[in-house]
Every structure is written in structure tokens, then in C-alpha cells.
């Protein structure tokens, strides 16, 4: 499990593409909190984050959720 959590942390630590930019804000056990900068509406941003991670090397094998925390 530790390797999987590290993968999530490393993947989103300084992720950037044409739609979003993320930085890792905090990590507690299996929960990672990200700061996300995007012009997308919230629902589209969540979908984009999920799809981006799902297409990463081990993203399709991991169960994860994305929630907006303000």
C-alpha cells in the first residue's frame, strides 16, 4: 500500500497540463489533499482529475475518489 500512496503523492505533487495545475497540500494516511488551479467548472475539473489519474501507469488499478474541499 505504501508504494501506491507514494505514487499518488508523486503524481499530483506538481502535476500540470492544459486544463489543471495541482500541488500537494497535505497527506494523512491514505488521504491526499491537493490545491488545484483550473478554469474548468467544478464537475468538469473532477472528471478531468479522475480521467488523468486513471490513465497513469497504475491509476486504473487503484480505487480513489475526488472531492471538492473549500
Provide the whole-model pTM: 0.80
Q: Are 40 and 20 in contact (CB under 8 A)?
A: yes
Phi, psi of 56 (to 5 degrees): -80, 170
Please give the pLDDT value at position 60.
84
Q: Are 4 and 58 in contact (CB under 8 A)?
A: yes
Q: Are 26 and 46 in contact (CB under 8 A)?
A: no
Q: Tens-of-pLDDT digits for all 70 residues of the chain?
A: 578 778 888 888 999 999 999 998 888 777 788 899 999 999 999 999 999 999 998 888 887 788 777 7
Please give the pLDDT value at position 45.
93
Please give the pLDDT value at position 1.
56
Amino acid at each position: 500500500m505504501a508504494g501506491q500512496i507514494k505514487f499518488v503523492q508523486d503524481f499530483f505533487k506538481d502535476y500540470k497540463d492544459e486544463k489543471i495545475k495541482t500541488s500537494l497540500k497535505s497527506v494523512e494516511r491514505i488521504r491526499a489533499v491537493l490545491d488545484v488551479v483550473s478554469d474548468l467548472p467544478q464537475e468538469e475539473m473532477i472528471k478531468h482529475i479522475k480521467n488523468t489519474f486513471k490513465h497513469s501507469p497504475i491509476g486504473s488499478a487503484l480505487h480513489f475518489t475526488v472531492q471538492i474541499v473549500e
